[in-house]
Amino acid sequence: MNRREFLSGCSKVFVGGMLISNDFLKIDMSSSSLKGFIVSDAHFGWEGAVQPSVSTQIEMIRRIRARFPDLDLLIDTGDAHHGGDQATDADKGDWTDVILGGCPHLPFYYVTGNHEVTGTGRGFEPEWTANILGSVSCRPYYSFDLCGIHFISMPELVRAVYINEETIRWVKLDLELNKDKTTILLSHNNLLETTSRDVPGYRGVINTDEIMALLAPYPNAVAWMHGHNHDYDILEKHDRLYVSNGRIGGFDPSNGKHGLGGIYFEIDDKQLKVAPYSAEFNCFVGDLEEPIKTHIMKINNSSYNPKAPAAHSYGTGAAADGQRVSVMHHTAASTGNTKLFFGGLEGDVLNDDSQVKYHAVRNPDRPDGGHWQLMGCSVSGGAGVYEWTDPGLKLLPTNEVRTMHCPHRGHHQYTYYRLNPNKQYKFILDIDAEVGGQKAKLDFFVHNKSGQELASIDGPEWVLQGGPETIEHEIDFPSLEHETTIYTDIQSDEEINVSARVNFSNLQNSVQINDFIIAFSDPGGSVTQNPALIIGSEQYEYNGTLAANETASIDISSVSQSRRVYQAQCQGNKRFVWLIRQAGCDWQVRNAPVADKGDYLEVGPMRNRFQAEPYIIIAPFVKTTEPYANRLYNVEKAKVYPINRNNAKLKLNIDELVDSSKPSRIEVISPKKPENVTGATGWKFRNGLLAITANQGQEIEIEYS
């Protein structure tokens, strides 16, 4: 049965082709715990024999909603679609409809998976595309608060088994700022030795020791919950729960035992409860006589507070002097304040794993030697062309040319390292050639995030002398003033990526590589000095030195635009971390950004256009029995006047349509029938859902007695 046949054969309430129940009316206003559900690994687009049909996945979400009607949030921990850059817009649209749109009345959060961000990309920047897909504001790492509980998105952005340095730096600042809050970390991959499914080079974060050291000072970090394994696993270790979130699609390691589903969790002032749930079998996995039972862990000093305001935090852990980034806002806040935090850094190295500390091999028993992976760079030639010397690597003798890319080939075109074209940088190579005569040719490249080469910089070729040697070259970075980027047009989202390539030839003897560095050419010190962030026409700065792990905070103006460009400025080592926390959030807007104008929300323009019938979702952070506009179909831009903003009536202005030849459809969750609806082309009310049709330019008012 295909998706259309499945839907047409059902008699439930329909919203935009999605089968839903009216569970949005079953609101428990007296709940004494935060209730959430996590799905993972939907893998839309995979053609494997055990991949469920889209209609089956729709049914699984329906069952989850029916079984847990009073959820506070829904989370997806990655692999939304399959095939990375081979995924179609239809695959992304199915995920948008079924998962992101499956619980439209709840806050929803998405953590990127390896299939979204670690492919080579071909014509698109994978992280930016993933952010569009999941309505992520800034970088794929971020955090949020609900009912006093803190959640952190901590994805693997460079390799499936590696959490990169900018993510770690940002999360460290976030952890320090929230050390009084019970915290749950969300990732796509597991930490080593916390699951039964460690697979070298593919499952298990290779820098697990670094992550464990990061978390050690924070006993409030009570759980690490992840996808990628497609099965359930719960381990209590280090006074923390490690949870594998199952599968809502993809391959099935349980061979049919567990079925499709996810993790139901509850957290209150005393404990965290985690319960694997099989939607396919309509029961908890523990009821299937499997060893994976519901697990309850006591929590000391839980920060659970049902009255605590929701909050959202975003930023970057690798802000370089002059760097610009565009931020799309998806949360609106009626109360609370907005704070900017600066974090200091040491050193001026801009690239990941420059000393080659990490190396992984996937499938080493394959005839070709398996897939060899370095985290901060790559070496051409496949398996066995180098030896990992822990740290560092040794290029082995060959008659071929060996090419090193920093970052690794594929990512160098689309994602890393984002830098400012108006600065100067340097390349440093620390090597040891026991016998000289080898040649090393340096080139630098600049790409936009679409993978288009904007400039290439022809560097020198060195003949190695033999013995320890440090090669250094300064790069005169082109201005790119004739290219449309975020640096020449503030309305552009086109960031730029800088990469280095070294071709080694005449390799009659081996070459040991100890360090492979991209850095600023003229740092003014080893630590952060005078960090500043320019937001629109306002500049926020801290005057002084910030050593590593030192922080500073500044109150800033609240978010009043749907998109803003943030520019970093810094002296000293020209590097710092910044984090903005928006408190008092009351509405989340998905598929389009939102500007908070006080009494109304300015929504749009449409951002996620992967669906066949594009729509915007507006969901409350705080459970409410008041009516609110929930879905806006075919709406490019609108103004929404919610009742909770001291408006006497629920009002909507339909400013612009995606397709002006068709009317918009607006769905309002409404516990009671309205007394009157004016300004609409038509409206119907049924089972708590008010359906309105309207044309461009119409102003709709919904009155209740």
Once rounded to an integer, what is the mean pLDDT over residues 353-380? 93
Is the pLDDT at 31 greater than 70? The verdict is: yes
Once rounded to an integer, what is the mean pLDDT over residues 165-181? 98
Q: What CATH number does the domain containing 570 carry?
A: 2.60.120
Predicted local distance difference test score (pLDDT) of residue 28: 66
Residues 470 and 548 in one domain: no
Bridge-partner residues for 690, per DSSP? 668, 685
Residues 442 and 534 in one domain: no
For residue 155, what are the domain limits? 3-302
Give every CB contact of residue 531 below 8 A, 6+ residues apart in sequence.
319, 342, 344, 541, 542, 546, 552, 568, 569, 570, 576, 578
Instruction: Indicate the average pLDDT of the chain.
Output: 92
Residues 78 and 145 in one domain: yes
Residues 292 and 422 in one domain: no
To which residue do tokens 């794929």 refer? 140
Does some domain include residue 669?
yes
Residues 59 and 92 in one domain: yes
Is the pLDDT at 597 greater than 80? The verdict is: yes
pTM, two decimal places: 0.95
Residues 235 and 125 in one domain: yes
| 322, 315 Cβ separation under 8 angstroms | no
Residues 401 and 375 in one domain: yes
Does some domain include residue 163?
yes
| 108, 70 Cβ separation under 8 angstroms | no
Predicted local distance difference test score (pLDDT) of residue 434: 86
Does some domain include residue 307?
no
Residues 263 and 406 in one domain: no
Residue that terminates a domain, selected from 520, 535, 565: 520
Residues 377 and 447 in one domain: yes
Q: How confident is the model at residue 415 (pLDDT cuts 50, 70, 90)?
A: confident
pLDDT in tens, 253-281: 999 999 999 999 999 999 999 999 999 99
Q: What CATH number does the domain containing 467 carry?
A: 2.60.120.260
Q: How confident is the model at residue 84 (pLDDT cuts 50, 70, 90)?
A: confident
pLDDT in tens, 665-684: 999 999 999 999 999 999 99
What is d(CA 463, CA 471) in angstroms, rounded to the nearest whole number?
10
pLDDT in tens, 237-260: 999 999 999 999 999 999 999 999
The distance of Cα 674 from the centroid of its chain, to the nearest Å, equals: 39
Residue that terminates a domain, selected from 485, 505, 520: 520
Residue that terminates a domain, selected from 485, 520, 555: 520
11-15, 118-122, 469-473, 514-518: which has the minimum mean pLDDT?
11-15
Is the pLDDT at 3 greater than 50? The verdict is: no
Task: For 129-229, list the strands marked E by DSSP.
Answer: 142-146, 149-153, 183-187, 221-226
pLDDT in tens, 447-500: 988 889 999 999 999 999 999 999 999 988 888 999 999 999 999 999 999 999
Is the pLDDT at 560 greater than 90? The verdict is: no
Does some domain include residue 631?
yes
Q: Which of 84, 171, 88 is nearest to 125 (CA)?
A: 84
Predicted local distance difference test score (pLDDT) of residue 17: 39
Q: How many domains does the chain have?
A: 4
Who has greater pLDDT, 419 or 264? 264
Residues 340 and 363 in one domain: no
Does some domain include residue 594?
no
* Eight-class DSSP state of 85: G
Is the pLDDT at 10 greater than 80? The verdict is: no
Once rounded to an integer, what is the mean pLDDT over residues 135-157? 97
Predicted local distance difference test score (pLDDT) of residue 517: 94
Residues 70 and 195 in one domain: yes
Predicted local distance difference test score (pLDDT) of residue 60: 98
pLDDT in tens, 85-135: 788 999 999 999 999 999 999 999 999 999 998 765 666 788 999 999 999
Does some domain include residue 542?
yes
Residues 151 and 272 in one domain: yes
Is the pLDDT at 567 greater than 90? The verdict is: yes
Does some domain include residue 13?
yes
